[in-house]
Amino acid sequence: MAADLLARVRGEIHARMTELRPAIAEYQRLLGAAEALERDASAAGVPTGEALAGSAKRSRASRAEPTRRAAVKPTRRAAAKPTRESAAKATRASHAKPARRAGAKATRRAEAKPTAAQLAIVAALEHGSHTVAELVVVTAMPGGDIRDGLRRLQRAGTVTRSSREGRIAYVLSGVAA
């Protein structure tokens, strides 16, 4: 009985691995393309991800240094001490969500443009249904990004929830689970 169970589990694992191999090959191909783009961008003198992160650190450091603007006499408004009300207003503004400040139109426009997570999810789901945990493994992305991407894809009608072996799985709309 144990040998039968072991053989059945091995068969299921082998079938799943066979199913996932195209997604893994696609992921590796995309990694190679990203590396080639980084090389081309650095050869052309365009700042890449690491260079941009370094420039952000430099800009923070340069803010700490006194600038020519600091020598300019402050205006009456800037010289005034903040009141309790203006401090509370500034705190509320700094904690407000960007989507609310930008408005519904900007939110719809942002949702219309697919993110890297959404594209990876759709590519993985082209090979069949997956749970969130499986998508995390296949796409090598954090679970939070996967869940956000799935939520947006569901809202857009690209992905639907289904059930597979008693678990919640996701499948492309119009495809049987």
Q: What is the pLDDT of residues 72-105, one digit of tens each?
A: 455 555 445 556 565 556 555 555 555 455 556 6
Residue 50 is assigned to a structural domain of this protein? yes
150: containing domain: 114-177
Q: Tell me if 65 is assigned to some domain.
A: yes
Helix (H) or strand (E) holding 2: helix 2-44
Model pLDDT, residue 160: 94
66 and 121 fall within a common domain? no
- The runs of H, that is alpha helices, within 65-141 are 68-71, 76-79, 84-95, 98-102, 104-112, 116-125, 132-139
Give the CATH number, domain containing residue 160. Answer: 1.10.10.10
**78 in a structural domain:** no
- Tell me the whole-structure pTM to 2 decimals: 0.39
- For residue 30, is it within any domain? yes
The pLDDT value given to residue 45? 76
> Residue 79 falls within a domain, yes or no?
no
Residue 97 lies inside a defined structural domain of this protein: no
Other CB atoms within a 10 A radius of the CB of residue 171 amount to 17
Q: Please count the structural domains in the chain.
A: 2
Run of H or E residues at 160: strand 159-164
For the chain, report the end-to-end CA distance as a whole number of angstroms.
30
Q: What is the mean pLDDT of residues 124-138?
A: 91
Q: Give 151's pLDDT tier (boundaries 50, 70, 90).
A: very high
**More confident call, 121 vs 1:** 121
Q: Is residue 45 part of a domain?
A: yes
Has residue 40 been placed in a domain? yes
